[in-house]
Structures are given as structure tokens and as C-alpha cells.
Amino acid sequence: MEIEQIEILDFLKRHSPFQELPAEQIEQVAISIDVGYFKAGTHILSFNEPLDSLHLIRSGAVETFRRNGELYNRLSEGGIFGEQGLLRGGKVRFPATALEDTLIYFIPQTIFQQLFDDNDEFADYVEVGDSERRKSNKATQTSQVDLLGATVETLIQREPVCIGSEASSWQAAQLMTEQNVSSLLILHNSEHAESPRDEVLVGTLAGIVTDKDIRMRLVAENGSLETPVSDIMSTVPATIEHKQYIFEAMMLMLRHNLHHLPVVKKQRPIGVIAISDIIRFESQNSLFIVSQIFRQHTIAELQSLVPDVHACFVRMVNEDANSQMIGSAMAAIGRSFKQRLLELAEEQLGPPPVPYCFLALGSMARDEQLVFTDQDNALVLDNRFDPALHDEYFRQLAQFVSDGLAACGYTYCTGNIMATNAQWRQPLSVWQHYFRSWIEQPSPERLLQSSIFFDIDGVWGETHWAKQLRQLVSQLARQRPLFLASMTRNALTRTPPLGFFKDFVMEQDGKQNNRLGIKRRGTAPFVDLIRIHALSIGSTENSTFGRIQDLIAAGTLPKGRAEDLRDAFEVIVMTRIRHQANALRQGEAPDNNVLPEQLSDFERKHLKEAFQVLSNAQKFLKFHFKA
């Protein structure tokens, strides 16, 4: 048996219905297999075309459809398709498309028929199991939120495959082949290990090497097989603790476009999870949308994904995801649009003349973005920036990204807080001066527009500059009571929509009469209030919920008050989210203006209570910071 066939045999032994076959039959399958590769988005099978093999997914993901175009099933590594056509005349019944780059094993029809005739368990699996697998997939979709509440350690299927950092690239590739893995953890060499290959669970994590790293950093560069694996690994990889939630892992992979994520326990790696491990938990879309974003080559192609973004949002609402899950997923998608647009801009304009950091501001920076939102962004430039030499490049880059975001549903900022505005396209030193000036020489007027800059996150380029600015704010703000008082006066200009008798106060602006401005009078003043408290304790958290957790830890609010704020904020945000999802379901444009009569008695009651918590918190804020 050839080495490729041995690898196929090992794969078959790990997946049903093949792992239940007798040894001689599974070996017969292994030596009969052909291999095919399909790029993301390409058709694998078309309806009613001749079918001569069972399709087994070696890697990647595939969607199958009914003849009317309706999604039938979504499959990942180890999934089979084409069996229904083979059982019914050898014609394709369910067309199939590669959802991402996919490797397929083709099992000849003659072998398939022999297995079906000779093996009852195999026959039951392909004949009855298809229905059950689709039921299981549907159950996964409807119970996704429960599953996302599980910890990442539940996804680990095997111990990590590791090697010491002194090993050669050849040793690393050999070990990956032997263990049939596409990623390898690299550990700092330990004095207790006799060889680099004895590092498993001994050394601490140094990096990770994937098939792609070997291909791009070694083979494509014509490197030596003796090149130390540490030279081609990705250093300081993102990791996740074993007790963190699957949803947190998904957000980390979304945000950084990762395909493999090491899981650690007390700084020691205990496993690796891949996108395919999460597919069964995230059955429709946010991971897939992000992967699709990075495959588009024009603004028009990116714009075509907007309906998928809306569908993802509605699905998460239908499945009772909380506001943190929804806001984080939408923010990750928004960041991905920005990142891909910046890639396309650099392809068009050439490499930047000096380094830069593209900033997300506001809800995207806080991981609280929804589907109806404008764009708030800025550019931090290297201190060597010379306007006469460099500004035209960055003006064009900012315009390209801003126009692209507008095409993808992120409307232009009415306050012109965008990188297209030269005021918000400045060197790092100028940004440091901005923040010092706002904090050390405050006034409500100066801070009226600038408060959004206290929610910043780097999404592209020198993202550590954003962290430096947040640290600067953390150091300065807590020491400046006049600054906090000025921020408070601005925050109190927007009060919750409750009247004297605790009835809702409706908007009466001639355009949206008799509606609740759920953002302007609800979520926005809530965000402002929590931001001020967080600045007062030196918190560097960006999200409102993260800031509330810091307030709970600091104990600066009366007992139980921070928890009340957390719960009330969730009620108001979810009211806004459900309102936008309902508009999308009805084919309408989402907005932030809620009709109280469309709320249930239960919802109205809890929304009033949440607004009352906000009102009381604003009174405390005014007293606490002497605004």
C-alpha cells in the first residue's frame, strides 16, 4: 500500500460508516479512492447529471441543495454525499457546492454498491442515516445557543501533536504526516525532554505551524529541509483557555481569520480546535460570511454578501442568542469588511508610504454592532508622516474604504467622523495630543463629538497603536475630575423616554412620531454612562459588558447596582435587536424607532423597568461626578 493510501486508510478508520467495516473491506476502499480538489464557491455536483462515485469530504465544507435551490444539508470533514443518487439510478439528486476550499475522496460506484450489499451497518447508515443526520443538523441549528454555552474543551478530540522549537522543518512535516494532522504546536524546548519530539505537554507554547506555513514559508521560498521549525512557525499564536466558551473561540477565530486555535490549560497546550470543529455549532453563517468576505475581489462582490449578513443576524435572534453574541458576531463581520477593503485598497494604490493603523470607533470597537449602523473610523499614521508627500495616498485609501463600507450597508457618518476627514487622519503624536487635550483641558463643547473616540479598536496595520492610546486614556482620565464632570454633563443631555407617571415619552420630530428612539434615548445614554464610570477606574475594556464587569470588580458602585445596569442594558439592547430583526423579516429597512404597541405587555413592563434603572443611574452619575 502506497503512503498516500495509508493516510487515506487512517482517515477512513476515524469516520462512519467506514470505521465499522471489516479490515479487508476498509483497505479495499482505501486503495480504490481518487482525490479531487474544489475551490470555494465552485459546483461539485449538478442536478440529474450522471453520478459514478460516493463523495467523502477529506477537508473543507460542502452545501447540498434541493432542486429548487433550498439548502438541504451542510457537511464538513468526514461527511458523505451523493449516496441518494447512487441508490436511485446513478443520477445526482442533490446538487453540491464547495462552501470553502475542499478536498474530496471519490469512492467508485462499484465499491459503494458492494459495501451496501454486503454490510448491513453500512447500508443502514447511508439509507436511513441520511434522514437522521439532517434531523441532527436541524437540531444543532435550533439548539445552537445552548451548545455555544459549552466550553472549548468539549471540542477537543485528541491530544495535541507537538514538537520542540529546535526540531527541523523536515521533522515537523514528517510528524504531521505520521499523525495525519494539518497543524503542529511548537513548544519551547524543555530540559526534561530527550529529543524535540518528546515535548508533548512538557514545554510551553512557542508557536504553531500549519500545512500553509510549510507551503508558503518553506517550499515556496526554496528553503532547506533542515530549516528550524521555529523559523516558519507563527509565533505567539492566539490561544484560548480550556474553560472559555465555544462562542468566545468562534469570535476569536472570526476576528483574526484563524483556521486553527490552540487550547491551553495553565499555559500548557491540551489540544487544537479547527473551524470544522465549530461548523456544527455555527450552522448558518458568521464564520462562513467572514471566510467569504476575504474571497471577494471587488466592492460589488462584497456588497452581494449583505443579504447573508442580514440572514445571519435574523437567525441569531430567532435562536435567542443574547446581545453579546449578536453584537460580537456583527462587529466581527464589520471588521472583516474593513480589513478586506483595506487589502483591496492597497492592491489598487500600492503599499503604504508609511505604516498606519485603521481604527474602528463606537459600536464596532465595543463589539456591540447591529445591522442598522453608520461607519465611524479614523487613521493613525506613523510619526514620519509628511502631508505633502503622503496624505494623498491615505486620502484615497480612506475614500475607497468609506465608499466600500457604504455600499455594504454601513452608511456614511453624518458627523463626518471618518478617515476621509483630514482631522481624523493624523500621526500617532497628534492623536496623543488630541486625547491629552480632551482630558486635560475639557469642556462639554469640546467633548461633544469626541466622546466616540473613547471607544477605539485597531482593525488593520499597527493595531498596537490603538492599545497605546487606550492605555494613555486609562492613565489620564481617572486623575481628571473636571474631564469626568464634562463627560457627565454631555451624557445627561439624553434621558430615557419615561414621563412623570412612568409612561413612555414618544418621539415627535415630524418624521418618526409616536415611536421610541431606542438608541438615542436608550442604548446610547447607557453606553455613555458606563463609559464614564469605566474611565474613572482606569478600565481599558472596550465593551459595555466588559466595563460593567470591571465596575463589579472595583466595587465603586452601590452593592447590586452594576448587576442591575447589566441586566437593564441587556433588556434595552435586545428590544432594539428584535425590532431590527422583525423589520428584516418583513422586507423593510431596519431602524431604531420602536412602536410600543408592537411590544407585548411583558416586554413593555420590562422595558419601562430598564429605563427606570437608567434614569436612576443618571441621577447617581450627576451626583457622583458633580456635573
Does 145 map to a domain?
no
Question: What pLDDT is attached to residue 128?
Answer: 56
| Residue 256 and residue 230 share a domain | yes
Does 132 map to a domain?
no
| Residue 118 and residue 44 share a domain | yes
How does pLDDT run across 498-540, given as a tens digit for each residue?
Answer: 764 456 666 655 555 568 889 989 999 999 999 999 999 999 9
Q: What is the DSSP string of 468-504?
A: HHHHHHHHHHTT-HHHHHHHHHHHTTS--SB-TTSPB
| Residue 399 and residue 311 share a domain | yes
DSSP bridge partners of 435: none
Question: What pLDDT is attached to residue 150?
Answer: 66
Residue 605 sits in a domain of what CATH number?
1.20.120
What residue ranges of the chain have pLDDT lower than 50? Answer: 129-148, 190-201, 281, 283-284, 500-501
In the listed set 281, 307, 336, which residue is the last one of a domain according to the structure? 281
Does 140 map to a domain?
no
pTM for this entry? 0.63
Question: What pLDDT is attached to residue 136?
Answer: 41
Give the chain's length.
627
Residue 56 sits in a domain of what CATH number?
2.60.120.10
| Residue 240 and residue 254 share a domain | yes
In the listed set 260, 281, 302, which residue is the last one of a domain according to the structure? 281
The angle at the Cα of 590, spanning 588 to 595, to the nearest 5 degrees, equals: 95
Does 433 map to a domain?
yes
Q: Taking a C-beta distance cutoff of 8 angstroms, is the pair 185, 270 a contact?
A: no
Question: What pLDDT is attached to residue 509?
Answer: 55
Q: What is the total count of domains within the chain?
A: 4
Question: What pLDDT is attached to residue 284?
Answer: 47
| Residue 459 and residue 334 share a domain | yes
Does 146 map to a domain?
no
Strand-strand pairing, 162-164 and 183-187: parallel
Residue 164 sits in a domain of what CATH number?
3.10.580.10
Does 618 map to a domain?
yes
Question: What pLDDT is attached to residue 106?
Answer: 96
| Residue 319 and residue 260 share a domain | no
Question: What pLDDT is attached to residue 134?
Answer: 44
Distance of alpha carbon 22 from alpha carbon 458, whole angstroms = 55
| Residue 341 and residue 217 share a domain | no
Question: What pLDDT is attached to residue 449?
Answer: 74
Distance of alpha carbon 485 from alpha carbon 491, whole angstroms = 10
| Residue 306 and residue 454 share a domain | yes
DSSP bridge partners of 517: 593
Question: What pLDDT is attached to residue 63?
Answer: 87
| Residue 242 and residue 189 share a domain | yes
Q: Which domain, by its residues, includes 53?
A: 6-125
Does 1 map to a domain?
no
Does 143 map to a domain?
no
Question: What pLDDT is attached to residue 388?
Answer: 95
| Residue 583 and residue 619 share a domain | yes
Is 269 strand, coil or helix?
strand
In the listed set 232, 253, 281, which residue is the last one of a domain according to the structure? 281
Return contacts of 326-330, CB within 8 angstroms, 24+ apart.
Answer: 326/370, 326/577, 327/363, 327/366, 327/367, 327/368, 327/369, 327/370, 327/573, 328/247, 328/251, 328/367, 329/251, 329/254, 329/286, 330/369, 330/370, 330/371
| Residue 506 and residue 470 share a domain | no
Q: What is the DSSP string of 510-545?
A: SSSTTBEETIIIIIHHHHHHHHHHHHHTT----SHH
| Residue 290 and residue 267 share a domain | no
- Answer positive or negative: Cα dihedral of 342, 348, 351, 356: negative
Q: Taking a C-beta distance cutoff of 8 angstroms, is the pair 171, 193 a contact?
A: no
- Answer positive or negative: Cα dihedral of 541, 361, 561, 574: negative
Closest CA to 140 of 277, 263, 290, 1: 277
Question: What pLDDT is attached to residue 614?
Answer: 94
How does pLDDT run across 19-55, given as a tens digit for each residue?
Answer: 889 989 999 999 999 999 999 889 999 999 999 999 9
Residue 295 sits in a domain of what CATH number?
3.30.460.10
Question: What pLDDT is attached to residue 513?
Answer: 58
